Structure 1
Amino acid sequence: MSQLNPFFVMLPLVVAVCSACSGSSSSTGSSASTSSSSSVASTDECTGTEALVINVASDDGSHDGHSPANTIDGSLDGESRWSSQGDGKTLLLDLGTEATIAEVKTAWFNADERTSFYDIEASADNNTWSTLVANGQSQGSEEFATDSFDRLDARYVRIIGHGNSENLWNSLLEVEVHGCGGLDAPTAQPSGPLAIAELDPAKPPSDNFDLSRWYVSVPIDDDGNGRADNIKENDLNDGYELPDYFFTGSDGGMVFRVYPSGFKTSTNTSYTRVELREMLRAGNTRIDTQGVNGNNWVFGSAPASDRAAAGGVDGNMRATLAVNRVSTTGEAYQIGRVIVGQIHANDDEPIRLYYRKLPDNNKGSLYFAHEINGGDDIGYELLGSSANSASNPADGIALDETFGYEIDVKGNALTVFIYRDGKPTVSKTVDMSGSGYDEGGQYMYFKAGAYNQNNSGDDNDYTQVTFYALEHSHN
């Protein structure tokens, strides 16, 4: 498993067409189509103009906690912005594939009080760049302004900030790239938050939850094999509890508590966990736990032979939960973080969903890592920042606050939804077509619970997560 770098985060999002865009005016900056090489080539095949999918937005990690994700979330709220200080700070946009672009629309923070200065460039290969807008200037309002240029083909667009008329801060509320072609917008629709059934605090977890298709890992070694014990489906679903690790809480929730030290599931694992592992075989031990078989599932993009052999095709997991406690001691990069949901493949993880709250913050962030098969992590922020020094996320989630998540896979489209009472649904979609999980032999299973991401804290510095509802399904 690769370690997520919390300072360089790339975030995909479908760009929503903003109702305020229709009245946009041209920027005062000079526009140019000065392609000096074949990296950006003009085209006459595209005549329409629509908002393109921006697959990835990133910077060099030096933002102040207002991350690149905020520029492609469809919001013009002042807190939803990218802010980075310095002349030449760059916001990089990756469309995921080459497309024909004709316009870039930008909305700048405090544009009614100051003028922001910027350039816009484009590239087909993220190596050779051509200038689209030189010496651009923001308009006198925080609504979208449009920079137009001759149509050209490119995959990457970058906005280079040169500060503003008051200081060297580059603060961009929102950006849209318009043209035609590019990635199709993902079609995943939220199922909505998972309702909480009546839970009895006097009963073990399996009497409140259907655990017939899960096992639980706990960081003790009663069987003496040197690894964490795995309580298999039938035993787990027959009233299993382990005081101080896996038990029913006073409100009936299913509690996962994990300390920084203890036995681990394998020699390749650095952290302890109390975590459920999906087992589609439901106690049928004639089916192996590993492999493309009746115990595991595959993506709909997998070869036909794998889809026929697997226990399911594509997958959806929904949960309602609260994080009760996170670590407050240890190494700075480990403090306050826990994984509450995963998809695990043979060796790597298509998704690890993190909650993180730093000691000086009263709310926590949500983000996830997508690990390329055999490669590195790519991080995606949902609420707040993953950074070690992140500021308090205004729209974050407090300890003991109930929220819901949904992880949905259809083919190579991975979508995460976050649900909270009285607040809009937050979602991110990743195109996994280049991630290597559609190869033959790759199998999947869901995981849910508390996978502590701190092994350097004090021995009694535990992490605790309580689940109130959990379901998983496949085609």
Structure 2
Amino acid sequence: MKINNVKILMQTILGVAFVLVIFGCNQTVKKTTETKIKDSVYPSDVIPFMDEWKILLGDGTRSDSLVNFSKEGFFYVENDGETNWVVYKTPNSGITSRTSSNTRTELGQKKHWIPETGGKLTGTLKVMHVSTSGDARVAASYSVVVGQIHSDEGHENEPIKIFYKKFPGHTKGSVFWNYEINTAGDDNSGRWDYSTAIWGDDMSVVGSSSTSYPEEPQDGIKLGEEFSYEINVYKGIMYLTFTSEGHETIKFTKNLLKSDFSTKSDIPEQILKLYAAIGRDGIERDTAYAGEIQYFKQGAYNQTNGKSPEDNIVWSTGSETYGGDITKQYENGCYAEVWFKSGTVGPGTEPNIE
């Protein structure tokens, strides 16, 4: 009996031990899983406004739900040793939107508005890479758009696009903004962008040949150098503010309800020079973008594409695309990459006029 009791006791002890081991393993797995989930950082953790947006990625992926959403190689989080940044990355060639030949990994605002009611977008960012292939004669080469307002009706033109552009071999690039006219009439083929320099040059400064570059801007912005912008549309007026440490703060205002370009005599010399080769010399409707539905966009809208410059010397950059192979484009510098650490979106606010 004693021997049987000992056997029963030993079996009981072993059984309890087995259960404890299994329980402990399950707890370890659970803790490991929880740690992995906790350690995963999404763009929506870095910039909480992601529920206000949808996104199109450079491979054609779309999503209307960006909370806890990311995609490796396109939309994800990087840490520079101090700060988490949301990365927007897109190749020179991929799947594009309905209205563009250029790829993008870019947010599109869900809420729409008109200039009279307004809206405001801010962003703090650094451009980490622009395509190293392109044609220096083409104004859009080596550039990326990092923020814009886009119309959702009419000609679907853009009251503002904020660009970063850097020529190969240069240390500093230019930041400038373009205003696209809201062309009068039904024909939008005469549209053009008027470009204004912020730091460095405007879009019209190009090379004299496909491989010769203009002088490097002395007051430009380097790759990896942080800057911020604010687009504030309030009662039909667009107020722009651009800041960067070590650079002058630059401000602009632009009326979106009344055109500055409604007659042929209003067309700036920059446009006559830059767009002459492609015959774009249209005029804008008197009321500009008044009453037209708008929305914000933010991210990396790559302006460098593989289209022939002979067809359009302003926008067709003839860059290398490796037949659309995204991996090869990334390996050979044929992409745009922009990092944002903060941003806000909401209604327009009354500006502080100094």
For 1:406, the equivalent position in structure 2 comes to 230
- Counterpart amino acid of 1:416? L
1:314 to 94, 118, 139: 118
For 2:218 and 2:192, the matched residues in 1 are separated by 30
Larger RCO of the pair (alpha carbons < 8 Å, separation 6+): 2
For 2:194, the equivalent position in structure 1 comes to 378
For 2:206, the equivalent position in structure 1 comes to 388
Q: Secondary structure at the match of 1:203?
A: coil
For 2:352, the equivalent position in structure 1 comes to none
For 2:69 and 2:221, the matched residues in 1 are separated by 30
- C-alpha displacement at 1:299, in angstroms? 1.1
- Counterpart amino acid of 2:173? G
Alignment of 1:121-270 (within 5 A): 202-210=40-48, 211-220=50-59, 228-232=60-64, 235-237=65-67, 239-251=68-80, 252-266=84-98, 268-270=99-101
- Counterpart amino acid of 2:120? N
Q: Secondary structure at the match of 2:144?
A: strand
Q: Secondary structure at the match of 2:141?
A: coil
Q: Give the 3 Å change call, closer, same or farther, for CA 330–427 of structure 1 in structure 2.
A: same
Report if the CA contact (8 A) 1:201-1:250 is conserved.
no
- Counterpart amino acid of 1:216? I
Give TM-score scaled by structure 2 length: 0.63
Residue 444 (str. 1) matches residue 283 (str. 2)? no
For 1:391 and 1:317, the matched residues in 2 are separated by 32
- C-alpha displacement at 1:330, in angstroms? 2.3
- C-alpha displacement at 1:340, in angstroms? 0.3
Deviates more, 1:349-358 or 1:372-381: 372-381
Q: Aligned-pair RMSD on alpha carbons?
A: 1.8
For 1:324, the equivalent position in structure 2 comes to 128
Give aligned pairs, total.
237
For 2:7, the equivalent position in structure 1 comes to none
Q: Give the 3 Å change call, closer, same or farther, for CA 250–201 of structure 1 in structure 2.
A: farther
Residue 298 (str. 1) matches residue 104 (str. 2)? no
The Cα offsets for residues 126-176 of structure 1, whole Å up to 9 and x where unpaired, read as xxxxxxxxxxxxxxxxxxxxxxxxxxxxxxxxxxxxxxxxxxxxxxxxxxx
The Cα offsets for residues 78-133 of structure 1, whole Å up to 9 and x where unpaired, read as xxxxxxxxxxxxxxxxxxxxxxxxxxxxxxxxxxxxxxxxxxxxxxxxxxxxxxxx
For 1:361, the equivalent position in structure 2 comes to 170
For 2:108, the equivalent position in structure 1 comes to 277
For 1:80, the equivalent position in structure 2 comes to none
Which one has a larger percent helix, Structure 1 or Structure 2?
Answer: 2
Runs of 4+ aligned residues of structure 1 deviating over 3 Å after TM superposition are 435-440
- Counterpart amino acid of 1:364? G
1:458 to 320, 335, 344: 320
- C-alpha displacement at 1:429, in angstroms? 2.0
For 2:224 and 2:347, the matched residues in 1 are separated by 30
5+ long unaligned stretches in structure 1: 1-199, 221-227, 281-295, 301-312
The Cα offsets for residues 396-422 of structure 1, whole Å up to 9 and x where unpaired, read as 110001111111212332222111114
- C-alpha displacement at 1:241, in angstroms? 1.0
For 1:343 and 1:250, the matched residues in 2 are separated by 29
For 1:393 and 1:427, the matched residues in 2 are separated by 19
- Counterpart amino acid of 2:46? N
Q: Give the 3 Å change call, closer, same or farther, for CA 415–263 of structure 1 in structure 2.
A: same
Q: Secondary structure at the match of 2:222?
A: coil
Report if the CA contact (8 A) 2:172-2:223 is conserved.
yes
Q: Whose radius of gyration is greater, 1 or 2? A: 2
Q: Secondary structure at the match of 2:131?
A: coil
Report if the CA contact (8 A) 2:182-2:289 is conserved.
no
Report if the CA contact (8 A) 1:382-1:428 is conserved.
no
- C-alpha displacement at 1:437, in angstroms? 4.2
For 1:43, the equivalent position in structure 2 comes to none
- Counterpart amino acid of 1:236? L
- Counterpart amino acid of 1:341? G
5+ long unaligned stretches in structure 2: 1-37, 184-190, 208-213, 260-283, 307-318, 322-328, 349-354
Report if the CA contact (8 A) 2:58-2:103 is conserved.
yes
Q: Give the 3 Å change call, closer, same or farther, for CA 364–219 of structure 1 in structure 2.
A: same
- Counterpart amino acid of 1:250? N
For 1:417 and 1:391, the matched residues in 2 are separated by 26
Q: Percent identity?
A: 30
Q: Secondary structure at the match of 1:249?
A: strand
